[in-house]
Amino acid sequence: MSMEATAWTQLHNVMNAQADRRPFDRATLRRIAAFARPHRRRVALFLVLSVATALLAVATPILAGRVVNAIVAGKEGGTVTRLSLLIAVIAVAEAALGLVGRWLSANLGEGLILDLRTA
């Protein structure tokens, strides 16, 4: 079978798998919550990190716009420098939070898989 035919077959299988799924009901949510309960602090931390990373990602273009406005307005170089340094600090913080978030996500996933397999 050619690669193209394989790709089309896989796409067809994925599209049909969506239709074959059972509806999501309250019993399923309760089962998921029961497995997630022991990990709730790490889940909450992961959510906080995700929101913080998203806020930092939004802050960067806003500050970049202020840099452009400061340059166009002919403001002193100190303003542009301070905003540029703030953008750099935000980029480092965003990268660090992203690394911690990915580690925490992997850790949570492995913990949940272990719990599921143990049960």
Instruction: State whether residue 75 is helix, strand or coil.
Output: coil
- Give the DSSP per-residue string, 77-109: HHHHHHHHHHHHHHHHHHHHHHHHHHHHHHHHH
DSSP secondary structure letter of residue 22:
P
DSSP secondary structure letter of residue 38:
G
Q: How many domains does the chain have?
A: 1
Q: Which two tokens stand for residue 81?
A: 């420098």
pLDDT the model gives residue 1: 58
pLDDT the model gives residue 87: 95
Question: Tens of pLDDT along 41-93?
Answer: 999 999 999 999 999 999 999 999 999 999 998 888 888 999 999 999 999 99
Range of the domain at 11: 3-118
Question: Tens of pLDDT along 10-53?
Answer: 777 777 765 556 677 888 888 888 888 888 899 999 999 999 99
Name the one residue in this structure whose structure tokens are 């009901």. 25
